[in-house]
Chain A
Amino acid sequence: MRLEPRPKTFASGAALVWRWQRILWWIFIVNLVLALFATKGMVERADWALSHSVASGRLVNGFDLFSIAELAAQPDNPLEQPGPAVFHYSVIFAVFMLFAAGGILATYVFDAKPTTSTFFEACGHHFWRFFRLVIYLLLAFIPIGILTAICGSIYHRIDAVSNSPYSADFFFIAISLIVLLLTMVLRLWFDMAQVIAVAEDETRMHGTLRRAASLLAHNFGSLLWLYIRISLLAWIVFGLGLYLWIYRLSPLSTAAVFLLTQLMLVFWIAARLWQRACEALWYRQYQAASVIEPSYTPAPSPEPAPVPYSTAMN
């Protein structure tokens, strides 16, 4: 079935994120705390070199690459440690987000205020289903990986035979955009599968993926445009933030830089939640549109309608 998103879906998605902004702040705080842990070692190791040294002034009044490199060249390189730590804490964050996805989507799909217990119930309820989806997602990435490898060899071939330096580089840019688009489509597909899994309390992920694919196929342009619009907005805000950071903020204002970078990140997280909220809204509209009008009006039920949120939890 084809369903044109209502014009308000884009704005309503933003409103949904705003309404349940506690989710946004919690994700932001978890992300920040994990980043603080990831970089703690570096700060401690670099502290001895910087906090009481005149040489640290080179970093304060600008960004002197030599000072960074000099720090890195020390026998007890204080900048060496964060690499693996950042990766490990990022993996923890990714697992956290996978866990939280059930609660987030339940909030957006049913648009009902979650209590702490219902939120985490939803998280736990859907975690293993989403974990299975991640495995399918990784499998789906394989063709993209193969395509990337093939394009890589074509790139090298063009680079070797073409006298123009543009041919290979433009090919590379074009392929990068295509791969990015394909990855975004995959993300859209699996996001939709997660929404269906939550909305329908679906346990069979195969079937969910098939339904999501079918929905995506019938509404590809409108759904993708929804995602792309939000992504573009996120990148524009990110670019604007970088501009302010580089050109407008004083190199001495570390507090202002911290605030700016964290605001950039908040918007980035919000944009991602916005995409998910829009998809949840879209699916609610789809559900509503796909209910067949009864030929007669049934008598009103004496029982109050069950709260969809708690139903989904059972």
Chain B
Amino acid sequence: MNGQAIPTSSEPNGALSTRVVAYSIDAKLNTTNHAIDATETLVYRNLTGQPQQTFPFHLYLNAFQPQSTLMTEVRLNGARGIGADSGWNDKHRASITINKLEVEGVDLAGKMQFIQPDDHNTNDHTVFQVTLPQPVAPGASVEFHMTFHDQLPEVLYRTGYKRNFYMVGQWFPKVGVWWKNGWNCHQFHADSEFFADFGTFDVNLTLPQDEIVGAAGDLASTVNNPDGTKSMKFHSEDVHDFSWAASPDFTMVEDSWTGSAGPVKIHVFMSPGNMTSASRYIQAQKGTLAWYDKWIGPYPYGRITIVDPPHGAANAGGMEYPTLFTAGTGWFMPKGLLVPEDVVNHEFGHQYWYGMVATNEFEDAWLDEGINSYVEAKSMDALYGPKTSMVNFPFATLGSSDLMRLEYISLPDTDPLTRFSWKYISDNAYGGVTYGKTATVLLTLEKIIGEDTMLAAMHEYFLRYRFKHPTTEDFLKTIEDVSHQDLKWYFDQAVYGTNVLDYEIWDAHSDRLNWWEKEIRAKSPNEETHRTYVTVHRKGDFIFPVDVVVKFEDGSSATEHWDGRDRWIRYTYDRKAKLASAEIDPLNQVRLDRTSFNNSFVVQEDKRAIHKLHNIWIFGSEWFSQFLAWLS
């Protein structure tokens, strides 16, 4: 499908992206007090088309303080496994302190000013801005020289240490993005991720010699120092972030895969006890690479690094960085529970939806998490079976796309997909809408434009916007371009609105046509004509065309197509045979329909499902009674 998709470059030196930033960082890890001392040089190319004098920077690690915006939001709503109203533990305190900031030899540390563009919380120090003595002309570059000190938290919110394990992400001062004619540099929120410009990273890490390091770059050199440390140089380009992990207990497992853009080295850094999952990670990684290569586009980087966090560091798991992501498993992980496979699939997907198609995760979370969830559902179902791609036990099964729909139907109407990520009504709503609803919206879109067209649109979207910062409108327009359809009616409701889609069979029954002749009996049922009524009701406010299939006892059927604009519609049939069943969306394509149980009515009662459930409930109830009786 992507025969012409291998990345080509119009940038200098064959660069895949428009390189705005070039970071050079020299960092030393102190494993005694879990701190990092570093120097950073940032060369920023002013491609904004206008002079720039004031620059904003992220200081993400300052979010790990009790009065920060992140922690205030966590306290209110909870997030990433931390419950609302959770207490503060000082082991989670972290900070990033800039000791020196120089531009063109001028010390600007005293001119740094913390700003809070999102919520005016003056206790939040996750963004600062600095005004230079002279503006930077369009097309010119400016060099920032900084020294900074990181105090890492015990693992929380994707980053930190746990015993001798380090997951170091969002750890250096990172400049904001000039986007839509303004600086885009949001504070660190509970339900938001990141946004940055493409460029190059040269990172020199100094750390104890027994540390095994997995990093988001090519290892250029390793030098052992006389003081028992070693210095490792990494280089990465056409990415917008750099993260790394270290532990003396890692076991590295290597493999490779070759796709349309060439070979990809797979490095897996396994934690103690989890080795049985290594092969599962690798198989899932290869399968996902192949699926993406076939349907979405080539993976242009020559490596992918998977970090398996140790037990107790689950909060570092399931997170994406360019060319590196963290997975998640346990020492006892049944094969029927496809958690390792799903985490790899999802986090690798972010190499496309966030890594290359670098949308603004603060403002358009649905474009990375949501699109990624849709592709995850497609690829997981393709790789592991549509009904068994998440749970595959003899006694219970669950598919990935069904799981997405489940996330959506639990909270279908609180927020539109386009809500800024930190403005959702709750953490659950953020998850349900951004991940589950987006996936379900796009799966339902397949019914309108066709599955193949939808996949073609995803492919086209990737080709158009890899190494760029597309918007919601860019994505929607791509779908319309590829499908040659005006889909505004759908996007207005599904993307920009909070409409709920729920159709039901309001009533379905047959009546004798000559119902008043109660005393006269027909000689045989076939001689009697019945009038069948089927009433379809649009319960929700989401208008969507649906198919209705009406079946009769003699095996005949009628298919209706209703545009759904009115609140209800009634179909009437005069036939010899009586009604057997009426069903809305018999192919189960309208995944956005909140309730599938009311989509059909079968005249012949079938109690098998209820009997089955009842069996289980009776057994469970009897057992609980036995347990209680045993205790007394």
Query: Which A residues are within 8 Å of any B CB, using their own CB?
Result: 31-32, 34-36, 38-39, 42-43, 46-47, 49-57, 59-60, 62-66, 68-71, 73-74, 82, 86-87, 89-91, 93-95, 97-98, 134, 137, 159-161, 163-166, 168-169, 187, 245-247, 251-252, 254, 257-258, 261, 264-265, 268-269, 272
User: Of B13-21, B346-354, B388-396, B451-459, which stretch is located at the interface?
Assistant: B388-396
Contact A52 B601 (CB under 8 A): yes
Contact A66 B615 (CB under 8 A): no
Contact B397 A64 (CB under 8 A): yes
Contact A93 B612 (CB under 8 A): no
Residues of B within 8 Å of A46, CB to CB, are 610, 613
Smallest CB–CB gap between B27 and chain A, Å? 24
A160 to B164 alpha-carbon distance, docked (Å): 11
Contact B628 A91 (CB under 8 A): yes
A34 to B621 alpha-carbon distance, docked (Å): 9
5 other A-B residue contacts (CB within 8 Å) besides A63-B396, A86-B617: A52-B602, A164-B273, A245-B395, A272-B626, A272-B630
Contact A247 B622 (CB under 8 A): no
Whether, in the assembled complex, B180 has its beta carbon less than 8 Å from a beta carbon of chain A, the answer is no
Nearest neighbor of B391 in chain A, beta-carbon distance: A65
- With contacts A53-B597, A55-B600, A65-B397 taken as known, whether A39 is within 8 angstroms of B612 at the C-beta atoms is no
Question: 8 closest Cβ contacts across the A-B interface?
Answer: A165-B311, A56-B609, A66-B402, A165-B273, A93-B625, A35-B621, A54-B600, A97-B629
Whether, in the assembled complex, B119 has its beta carbon less than 8 Å from a beta carbon of chain A, the answer is no
| A265 CB contact (under 8 Å) in B330, B606, B607, B622 | B622
A50 to B609 alpha-carbon distance, docked (Å): 7
Whether, in the assembled complex, B131 has its beta carbon less than 8 Å from a beta carbon of chain A, the answer is no
Contact B632 A97 (CB under 8 A): yes
Contact A55 B599 (CB under 8 A): yes
Nearest neighbor of B605 in chain A, beta-carbon distance: A51
A100 to B406 alpha-carbon distance, docked (Å): 46
18 intermolecular pairs with C-beta atoms under 8 Å apart = A35-B621, A36-B618, A38-B617, A38-B621, A50-B609, A52-B605, A53-B599, A56-B606, A56-B609, A57-B609, A70-B409, A90-B624, A90-B629, A137-B632, A163-B272, A246-B395, A251-B612, A257-B612
Count A-B contacts at CB 8 Å: 198
A50 to B407 alpha-carbon distance, docked (Å): 22
Give a binary string over B580-606; 1 marks a CB under 8 Å from any A CB, 0 the rest. Answer: 010100100000000111111111011
Contact B598 A261 (CB under 8 A): no
A265 to B332 alpha-carbon distance, docked (Å): 30
Contact B614 A39 (CB under 8 A): yes
Residues of B within 8 Å of A159, CB to CB, are 311-312
A54 to B310 alpha-carbon distance, docked (Å): 45
Whether, in the assembled complex, B88 has its beta carbon less than 8 Å from a beta carbon of chain A, the answer is no
Whether, in the assembled complex, B274 has its beta carbon less than 8 Å from a beta carbon of chain A, the answer is yes
Contact B397 A98 (CB under 8 A): no
Contact A39 B621 (CB under 8 A): yes
- With contacts A51-B610, A161-B163, A261-B615 taken as known, whether A90 is within 8 angstroms of B331 at the C-beta atoms is no
A72 to B122 alpha-carbon distance, docked (Å): 43
Whether, in the assembled complex, B405 has its beta carbon less than 8 Å from a beta carbon of chain A, the answer is yes
Contact B625 A94 (CB under 8 A): yes
Residues of A within 8 Å of B615, CB to CB, are 254, 257-258, 261
Query: Which B residues are within 8 Å of any A CB, using their own CB?
Result: 163-164, 249, 272-274, 310-312, 330-332, 387, 391, 394-399, 402-403, 405-406, 409-410, 581, 583, 586, 595-603, 605-615, 617-632
A86 to B249 alpha-carbon distance, docked (Å): 48
| A134 CB contact (under 8 Å) in B387, B600, B610, B632 | B632
Contact B599 A54 (CB under 8 A): yes
Question: Considering residues A31, A73, A159, A251, which has the most beta carbons from chain B within 10 angstroms of its beta carbon?
Answer: A73
Question: Considering residues A36, A64, A163, which has the most beta carbons from chain B within 10 angstroms of its beta carbon?
Answer: A163
A52 to B620 alpha-carbon distance, docked (Å): 26
Contact A89 B387 (CB under 8 A): no
Contact A35 B625 (CB under 8 A): yes
A27 to B62 alpha-carbon distance, docked (Å): 63
Residues of B within 8 Å of A268, CB to CB, are 623, 626
Contact A35 B618 (CB under 8 A): yes
Contact A265 B608 (CB under 8 A): no
| B410 CB contact (under 8 Å) in A51, A65, A73 | A73
Contact B597 A56 (CB under 8 A): yes
| A93 CB contact (under 8 Å) in B606, B619, B629 | B629
Smallest CB–CB gap between B413 and chain A, Å? 11
A221 to B610 alpha-carbon distance, docked (Å): 47
Contact A165 B612 (CB under 8 A): no
Contact A165 B610 (CB under 8 A): no
Question: Considering residues B331, B395, B599, which has the most beta carbons from chain A within 10 angstroms of its beta carbon?
Answer: B395
- With contacts A38-B621, A52-B602 taken as known, whether A60 is within 8 angstroms of B311 at the C-beta atoms is no
Smallest CB–CB gap between B397 and chain A, Å? 6
| A34 CB contact (under 8 Å) in B399, B619, B625 | B625
Contact B397 A63 (CB under 8 A): yes
Residues of B within 8 Å of A90, CB to CB, are 621, 624-625, 627-629
Contact A54 B622 (CB under 8 A): no
A211 to B621 alpha-carbon distance, docked (Å): 36
A60 to B615 alpha-carbon distance, docked (Å): 12
